[in-house]
Chains A and B, each alone.
Chain A
Amino acid sequence: MIVVKDLKKQYNGLQVLKGVNLTINKGDVVCLVGPSGCGKSTFLRCLNRLEEPDGGTVTLDGKEITEKDIDAVRAKMGMVFQHFNLFPHLTVRKNITLAPVKLKRMSQKEADQTALKLLERIGLADKADSYPNMLSGGQKQRIAIVRALAMNPEVLLFDEPTSALDPEMVGEVLELMKELAHSGMTMVVVTHEMGFAREVANRVIFIDEGKVQVDKPPQEFFKDPENPRLKAFLSKVL
Chain B
Amino acid sequence: MASLAEQFEVLSGLAKSGAHLSFGQDFFVKFYQAFLLSNRWQQYIEGVGTTLVVTAIALIIGVILGGVVALVRTAHDQQRHSHRNFLLGVVNQICKIYTTVIRGTPMMVQLLIMGMVVFASSRNFTVVGALTLGINSGAYVSEIIRGGLMGVDPGQMEAGRSLGLNYMTTMVTIVIPQAVKSILPALGNEFIILLKDTSLITVIGGKELLYAAQGVMNRTYEAMFPLLGTAVIYLILVMIFTWLLGKLEGRLRQSDRR
Contact = CB atoms under 8 A, between A and B. Distances in A.
Interface in A132-148: 133-134, 147-148
B173 interface: yes
B80 A99 contact: no
A89 B178 contact: yes
B227 to A, nearest CB: 47
Interface stretch (B138-146, B157-165, B213-221): B157-165
Among A52, A71, A78, A131, chain B packs the most CB atoms within 10 A around the CB of A71
A61 to B, nearest CB: 16
A102 B178 contact: no
B156 A87 contact: yes
Interface in A36-76: 48, 50, 52, 67, 71-72, 74-76
B164 A81 contact: no
Among A50, A77, A87, A148, chain B packs the most CB atoms within 10 A around the CB of A87
A103 B165 contact: yes
Contact of A75 (B81, B156, B163): B163
Interface string A95-134: 0001100110000000000000000000000000001011
Range class of the B interface residue count: 20 to 34
Contacts of A75: 163-164
B164 A71 contact: yes
B156 A85 contact: yes
Interface string B166-178: 1001000110011
A77 B173 CA distance: 21
B164 A99 contact: yes
A67 B80 contact: yes
B156 to A, nearest CB: 6
Range class of the A interface residue count: 20 to 34
B158 A52 contact: no
A229 interface: no
Contact of B161 (A52, A74, A86): A74
Contacts of B178: 87-89
A143 B166 CA distance: 22
B165 A102 contact: yes
B173 A52 contact: no
Interface in B75-120: 80-83
A31 interface: no
A79 interface: yes
Contacts of B169: 102
Contacts of B174: 87, 98
A147 B82 contact: no
A36 B31 CA distance: 77
A99 B83 CA distance: 25
B153 interface: yes
Given A75-B163, A99-B163, A103-B164, 20 more contacts: A48-B162, A50-B158, A67-B80, A71-B165, A72-B164, A74-B162, A74-B164, A75-B164, A76-B164, A79-B159, A81-B159, A83-B155, A85-B155, A85-B159, A87-B156, A87-B174, A88-B178, A89-B177, A98-B163, A147-B163
18 contacts: A50-B158, A52-B81, A52-B82, A71-B161, A76-B164, A79-B158, A81-B155, A81-B159, A85-B159, A87-B156, A89-B178, A98-B163, A98-B173, A99-B160, A103-B164, A103-B165, A147-B163, A148-B162
